[in-house]
Structure 1
């Protein structure tokens, strides 16, 4: 969800990628349900292994966000370019202890937590779009998010 939301909210300023240690076969239908009303390009979403982002050919990240403490710093692979690492501790709506009637509610809760976190990230001074006299300029950063199989 974080990848899709960042693309939608500030895709002109960031490249967003989503990956995890054990990617699912497909994006969870409840994640799609949360994203469908406001996200225009759901077709580009697919679960990926974070190992796709560790080789010489991988895009250089400026910032990596772990959405689960189980995949944070000591467990994450080494990404090229030594990006900054941040951890957003969000509940995992796919955890084994989440009972089915609560799963959709938890997806909704996590969706809005991600929206708030991304909004703060986008508005942070270091990512502000510089104002130039005359021509418009853009600030472009690579951002990876979502190290959970949501």
Structure 2
């Protein structure tokens, strides 16, 4: 299973910042091992400009990113998901669709940088900080042995990463 490409969905309520950044981070860091998407239960319909600014600064893919509904990933034509991560507390508490492929799920909650008020510099700092938190979590997931990714034993490991 070392050459398997895993399908990952990052979920947040609005799909405008956290889940978008996680999608780009994973695709930029490990496109040879993972294909990542993001979606929301109540998508805002646009990606937050500060999320795009941070991704561009990190030289991560950001063209074509869009805010979309998680229903796109629950239908019969959706990709078979291996992992679904909620990155906001609201989405973790919602009743999620039945995902094709019975993926492993974990909650990697992080605060909403779009809710931060203050100066433009403070707001940008919040987006940069959230991107770094997500990057650390993705780094930890990528460090897991390939055989763990292929088994359900990974569930406890992924849940622990979300608590860091």
Q: Shorter chain as normaliser: what TM range? A: 0.7 to 0.9
Q: Which runs of 5+ in 2 are unaligned?
A: 1-20, 150-164
- Give SS of 2:113's match: coil
Residue 144 (structure 2) aligns with? 124
Q: Which has the higher helix share?
A: 2
Deviations 1:57-88 (A, max 9, x none): 00010000100121126522211111111101
Query: Does 2:98 match 1:84?
Result: no
How much is the aligned-residue C-alpha RMSD, in angstroms? 1.9
Structure 1 counterpart of 2:152: none
TM-score, normalisation: structure 1: 0.77
SS in 2 for 1:43: coil
- CA deviations over 1:87-141 (Å, ceiling 9, x no partner): 011001123xx31423222111101001100101111113689xxxxxxxxxxxx
Corresponding residue number in structure 2 for 1:13 = 33
Larger CA Rg, structure 1 vs 2? 1
33-42 or 59-68, larger mean C-alpha shift: 33-42
2:135 to 115, 118, 123: 115
Alignment check: 8 A CA contact 1:56 1:80 kept? yes
What is the match of residue 87 of structure 2? 67
Question: Larger relative contact order (C-alpha < 8 A, sep ≥ 6)?
Answer: 1
2:35 is the counterpart of 1:41: no
Q: 1:40, CA displacement in angstroms?
A: 4.6
Distance 2:85 2:48 in 1: 20
Q: 1:100 to 1:11 in 2, by over 3 A?
A: same
Distance in 2, matches of 1:10 and 1:71, equals 25
**Does structure 1 retain, via aligned residues, the 8 Å contact 2:55–2:61?**
no
C-alpha contact 1:5 1:39 (8 A) present in aligned 2: no
